[in-house]
Structure 1
Amino acid sequence: MMPMITILGPTASGKTDIAAHLAARIDAEIISADSRQVYRRMDIGTGKDLDDYCVDGKNIPYHLIDIVEPGTKYNLFEYQRDFLEAYNGVRERGKEVVLCGGTGLYIESVLKGYRLIPVEENKELRKSLEGKNLLELTEILERLKSENCSNMHNITDVDTAKRAIRAIEIETAYRKAPVEERTFPKIDTLIIGVGIDREMRRRKISKRLRQRLDNGMVEEVEGLLEEGIPAEDLIYYGLEYKFLTEYITGKLTYEEMVHSLEIAIHQFAKRQMTWFRGMERRGFHINWIDAAQDMDTKVNTIMDLIASRKADGI
């Protein structure tokens, strides 16, 4: 069997569509690496675009999408566990594996095989952090990361005080208790990065945001609130759910929400690329392809890279 193909890229780069077309070509199943698409009924805001998983009438199996309820706090430990279960299942069925997503932390955690332990809530620590603003919490987190030599949390993952406190909680636990070796396989992979011109990315992000607003994104968040999911839990998920919740609860006008959200998504895409460039500095080789090329060219380029690895005996 061929190595797992990892396809990563910033939001609006078209990586899911590429992964699905490649999967159709090589008889593969897709494992998602997106920290928010795990949540059910959070569809428009997370950009699931499930239609992308149908190629020429063929439905491509996918995993780790719609697996937990909104309001829960899915974490990196759970993702690593669930990835391994999905990965082993696909391989046991004799299929190839395509890992696809934009959450660099999730991708790196399974490619590097981070050694993780479950971390329980630390009520005493949380009480000591009450009242601190996001800047203060970020400074505490950065200090802990430096002490732990950790790459586990970046600004993308801690854009609210609640998320920052949880990250501090995890880093504190890792500092105080030695992390025991966990059984996690070394996974051979070919990494494909979908590069997109900055201006093209900005245009696509802006266009897609307006399409999602027109297609019911506000109503989606209203429905989640009506289910009884607390506003603070939706704000915890950041980006669309943060700003739309603040609009619906009267903290922002519609115009303020759209403007702030658009800026936040652009910043998010930039941070994604910063993470991927950091992966390269940390020793991962990413083969970049141009998002602007037509689909056949992109898939054929990946197939050529697969063939080249095979010819080199890698």
Structure 2
Amino acid sequence: MDQEYPLLVVLGPTASGKTKLAVRLAEALQGELISADSRQVFKDMDIGTGKDLKEYELNGQQIPYHLINIREAGGKYNVNEFKEDFYRVFEDLSSREVLPILCGGTGMYMHSVFQDHEYTAIPVNEPLRVALRLKEIEGLRIILKSYPLELTQHADLSSFKRLIRAIEIAEYLSHHELIAVKRPLIKPFVVGLTSDVRLRRKKILRRMEARLEEGMIEEVKGLLEKGVDPEVLTFYGLEYKFIVAYLSGTLDYGELKLQLGIAICQFAKRQMTFFRKMEKDGVAIHWFDTDQDSDQLFKQVMEAYIRWKTS
């Protein structure tokens, strides 16, 4: 039987305190953090992405972290690149018997590790996507059925977006052989952070205000001055999208705060929806309430992890 390697995971919506908890766990368990955040991979995008690098220092100790500041701002990063980077770090830490702690809110990245579908390596076919966007959902289902069953049995027919990806995969497999990559077996313990929706909203808005005061607008302005394309920043979404609109004069400051606050709260709701989908797909998530005292939360998570490890 192949050996399984432990992975501690801390996930939750934005502003739920994931990093703070993960750092405490890393210190207690002599672990190292692996970020699962689609935007924190980029340099010079600190305030807007909530890197909070000072949180990685605890009791005079610097907790090692990975997959943060590994790409230049203005670039793209996708789920397959994340998987490759994740497994490179995971194998290194596991070989040194250091506990990897995956921490983040980008559900698609985390789910790719749990499912390890080789199809994430199949590249985007933009011309095909453009053509398919003109179709109705039933038309997409008919197109998908035109491919051999062995190329479509993976397909999720539930949404327009997933049908397009399924056709994209089937079209690629019709002309290319996909070579499976052998990965180490992962035994995950997944911690999920949740809270009362009203309290979460308050935390999100308070955090947004703090970031604005810390210079989030100036950070975006600096990226534009360095030559980062405004369209790319808009593609990064949320803070970058609305601050670019503010700097271009499309929004005033009051509108920026109002629309950004609504968008972040909606984003947190979508994150929670994705985490629930992960559970439906078989990922066992142990949920903990973040509205309690942080010491009590840490104690509960540690006790649960130790019980799991020794069971």
Does the pair score TM above 0.5? yes
Contact 2:43 2:71 in 1 (8 A): yes
Partner of residue 268, structure 1: 267
Match of 1:285 in 2: 284
Q: Say if 2:125 is the partner of 1:125.
A: no
Q: Which amino acid aligns with 1:97?
A: P
Which residue identity is paired with 1:15?
K
For the aligned residue pairs, the C-alpha RMSD in angstroms reads: 2.9
Deviations along 1:175-229, one digit per CA (max 9) or x if unpaired, are 2123543322321010110111111110010011111111100000000000111
Q: Corresponding residue for 2:79?
A: 76
Match of 2:149 in 1: none
**Aligned match of 2:155:** 149
Aligned residues: 295
Pick the aligned partner of 2:172 from 174, 177, 184. Answer: 177
Contact persistence 1:33–1:107 (CA under 8 A): yes
How does the TM-score come out when normalised to structure 2?
Answer: 0.86
Please report the TM-score for the alignment, with normalisation by the length of structure 1. Answer: 0.85
Q: CA deviation at 1:271?
A: 0.4
Q: Distance between the aligned counterparts of 1:231 and 1:67, measured in 2?
A: 21
Give the direction of change, closer, same or farther, for the CA distance of 1:137–1:13 in structure 2 (3 Å limit): farther
User: Quick check: which has more Rg, 1 or 2?
Assistant: 2
Distance 1:310 1:122, change over 3 A: closer
User: Secondary structure in 1 aligned to 2:33?
Assistant: strand
Are positions 1:25 and 2:40 aligned together? no
Shift of 1:295: 2.6
Q: CA deviation at 1:168?
A: 8.8
Bigger CA drift: 256-265 or 293-302?
A: 293-302
CA 1:189–1:145 in 2, change beyond 3 Å: closer, same or farther? farther
Change (3 A) 1:137 1:66: farther
| 8 Å CA contact 2:40, 2:69 repeated in 1 | yes
Task: Give the Cα–Cα distance (whole angstroms) in 2 for the partners of residues 251 and 34 of structure 1.
Answer: 28
CA contact (8 A) 1:119 1:170 kept: no
Q: State the match for 1:87 in structure 2.
A: 90
Unaligned runs of 5+ in 1: 156-163
**Structure 2 residue corresponding to 1:112, chosen from 94, 106, 115:** 115
Q: 1:84 to 1:240 in 2, by over 3 A?
A: same
What is the CA distance between 1:93 and its match in structure 2?
2.6
Partner of 2:241, secondary structure, is helix
What residue is the counterpart of 2:228 in the other structure? 229
Over 3 Å counting, the alpha-carbon distance change for 1:85 and 1:169 in structure 2 is: farther
Letter of the aligned partner of 2:64 in structure 1?
P
- Unpaired segments ≥5 residues, structure 2: 146-151
Deviation at 1:309, TM superposition (A): 1.9
Instruction: Note the C-alpha offset of 1:114.
Output: 1.8
Is the 2:155–2:166 contact (alpha carbons within 8 Å) kept by the matching residues of 1?
no
Deviation larger for 72-81 or 182-191: 182-191
Question: SS in structure 1 opposite 2:185?
Answer: coil
Where 1:7 maps in the other structure, the secondary structure is strand
Q: 1:124 to 1:274 in 2, by over 3 A?
A: closer
Residues 122, 172 of structure 2: 8 Å contact kept: no
